[in-house]
């Protein structure tokens, strides 16, 4: 995860309370940059209340480690950019940022505001408000998509992690080459539930599971033809790409390229 630098020029009249709040917020930011779970836990008061309004839940200290562990990105695709400088008002710090996936489709982006309440150098309360926003490359999502994510027990950070993990799985493991692939197999392989995977595909990509899988299969077939032409029978290319139906292969190929495989291979 790449996180932009946090502008920390104080906007308050220096006083002991605001200065300590400012220092704590900077340490909080630096711990997230390092993905330092222990460093984050050390900043929370044992009586902390973390209000995740996106997910409509409150996390106490006993739940915090698991919550942070599941929220903290592990891949390199997620980018966090601060949209305003750090704001301090007495014992409260305000951080505003945008998180997006740095993938070829720019699949997901959300704006978030975190209000940290600080006492004696420890965070006693966090109010996190996040809103999913639409990128130009994204499909229009139904207005209930945010509520769907919340019902699935996903925070805004976890939605980003979900998309990142699934994209890496499909890109690296190429499970779509298995003609018997189904949603259950993907769930077992990735550790996400069928409903969470369906949320990613339906609400974020705007595709059904098999629409997404067949898109990947056609891209593989096109790659084969671009590299080797029609040196193999079309049936062999279709099967190697994961299709078990030749009619589905032809339909998907024409939808993608506007041509038949033979006509596509003969184009200049």
Q: Are the CB atoms for 115 and 25 separated by under 8 Å?
A: no
- Residue 172 DSSP label: H
Quickly name the fold that domain 174-268 has.
Arc Repressor Mutant, subunit A (1.10.10)
Q: What H or E segment, with its residue span, contains residue 235?
A: helix 234-240
Confidence check: pLDDT of 1 > 70: no
**Which two tokens mark 65?**
């480690």
**Which two tokens mark 10?**
């104080």
> How do residues 206-234 score in pLDDT, each as one tens digit?
789 999 999 999 999 999 999 989 889 99
Beta strands in the chain (DSSP E): 2-3, 44-52, 57-60, 78-82, 87-89, 92-101, 109-119, 122-133
With a pLDDT cut of 90, the percent of the chain lying above it is: 48
C-alpha angle 105/108/111, rounded to 5°? 140
**Quick one: pLDDT at residue 139?**
42
Confidence check: pLDDT of 101 > 90: no
- Give the mean pLDDT of the chain: 83
> How do residues 23-48 score in pLDDT, each as one tens digit?
999 999 999 888 899 999 999 999 99
Mean pLDDT of all residues in 100-126 = 79
- Using CA atoms of 250, 258, 168, 239 in order, give the dihedral in degrees to the nearest 10: 20
Quickly name the fold that domain 2-143 has.
Nuclear Transport Factor 2; Chain: A, (3.10.450)
Partnered with residue 87 across adjacent β-strands are 94
What is the Cα–Cα distance from 210 to 233, expressed in whole angstroms? 24
CA distances from 144 to 27, 106, 147, 153, 162 (A): 36, 21, 5, 15, 18
Partnered with residue 80 across adjacent β-strands are 3, 99
Determine if residue 200 is left, alpha or beta; phi over 0 gives left, psi from -120 to 50 gives alpha, anything else beta.
alpha
**Quick one: pLDDT at residue 136?**
37
What is the Cα–Cα distance from 264 to 268, expressed in whole angstroms? 9
What is the domain partition of the chain in residue ranges?
2-143, 174-268
């Amino acid at each position: 995860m790449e996180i932009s630098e946090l502008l920390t020029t104080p906007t308050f009249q220096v006083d002991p309370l605001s200065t300590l709040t400012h220092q704590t917020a900077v340490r909080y930011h630096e711990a997230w940059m390092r993905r330092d779970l222990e460093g984050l836990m050390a900043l929370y008061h044992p009586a902390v209340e973390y209000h995740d309004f996106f997910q409509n839940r409150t996390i106490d200290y006993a739940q915090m480690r698991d919550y942070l562990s599941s929220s903290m990105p592990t891949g390199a695709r997620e980018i966090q950019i601060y949209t305003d400088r750090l704001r301090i008002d007495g014992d409260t710090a305000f951080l505003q940022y945008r998180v997006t996936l740095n993938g070829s489709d720019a699949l997901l982006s959300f704006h978030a505001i975190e209000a940290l309440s600080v006492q004696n150098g420890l965070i006693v309360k966090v109010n996190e408000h996040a809103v999913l926003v639409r990128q130009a490359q994204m499909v229009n999502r139904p207005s209930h998509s945010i509520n769907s994510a919340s019902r699935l027990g996903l925070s805004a950070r976890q939605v980003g992690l979900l998309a990142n993990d699934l994209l890496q799985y499909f890109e690296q493991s190429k499970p779509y080459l298995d003609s018997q692939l189904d949603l259950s197999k993907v769930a077992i392989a990735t550790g996400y539930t069928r409903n969470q995977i369906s949320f990613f595909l339906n609400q974020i990509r705007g595709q059904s599971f098999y629409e997404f899988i067949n898109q990947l299969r056609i891209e593989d077939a096109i790659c084969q033809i671009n590299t080797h032409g029609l040196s193999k029978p079309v049936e062999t290319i279709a099967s190697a790409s994961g299709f078990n139906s030749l009619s589905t292969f032809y339909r998907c190929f024409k939808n993608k390229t506007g041509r038949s495989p033979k006509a596509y291979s003969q184009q200049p």
